[in-house]
Amino acid sequence: MSGWLLLALACGAGGDDTGDAADGGLDSATEAFCQDAPVVTWNSFGQGFTTEACQTCHASTTAERNGAPDSVTFDTLDDVRAHSDRILARATGDEPDMPPRGGVSDDDRARLEIWLRCWLEEE
Ligand code: HEC
């Protein structure tokens, strides 16, 4: 799993490519990962997830950031796009460490990874 993640970070996430898995817009590792992935979007999942799991510390308006960097906020879809490679690194994969105290289910981490890797560039 972590190998795939590294590959995606190295060549996939953050590009300005608007293609989808079907027409070869994603690199092959991502394409394989995304092949039968369910549709996950900001509206269906991302906004609610980041609000609950991350924004207590990361929102631009939060009163107590608990040390979360001012520059790392997830208020909007564009904010998430700007940080998607770091979100993948810190909140998905084999040893996620965001949020720092855990509390996110494996299912939600899987949805997060699918959203960021397969659908983010299409929204
Ligand atoms: C309890 C507070 C808290 C919560 C909740 C939290 N974070 Fe953080 N986050 C921090 C702190 C503190 C830092 C800075 C220290 C560090 O990088 O470990 C940070 C840094 C980050 C960074 C920037 C550092 C890097 O590696 O690039 C990212 C990205 C990030 N968090 C993602 C997330 C995501 C995604 C969530 C929700 C799934 C989340 N965080 C939830 C406190 C929090």
Which residues in the chain land under pLDDT 50? Answer: 1-2, 8, 10-21
The reported pLDDT for the residue numbered 11 is 46
In angstroms, what is the span from residue 101 Cα to ligand 1's centroid?
Answer: 10
Q: Is the CB of 56 under 6 A from ligand 1?
A: yes
Q: Is the peptide bond before 99 cis (omega within 30 degrees of 0)?
A: yes
Which residue minimizes the CA distance to atom 24 of ligand 1? 86
Instruction: Express each pLDDT in 24-42 by its tens digit.
Output: 567 899 999 999 999 999 9
The reported pLDDT for the residue numbered 25 is 67
Rg (CA), the chain: 14
Q: Is the CB of 86 under 6 A from ligand 1?
A: yes
> In the numeric block, which tokens belong to residue 48?
């609610």
Q: Which domain holds residue 77?
A: 2-122
- Number of domain units in the chain: 1
CB neighbours of residue 20 within 10 Å: 15
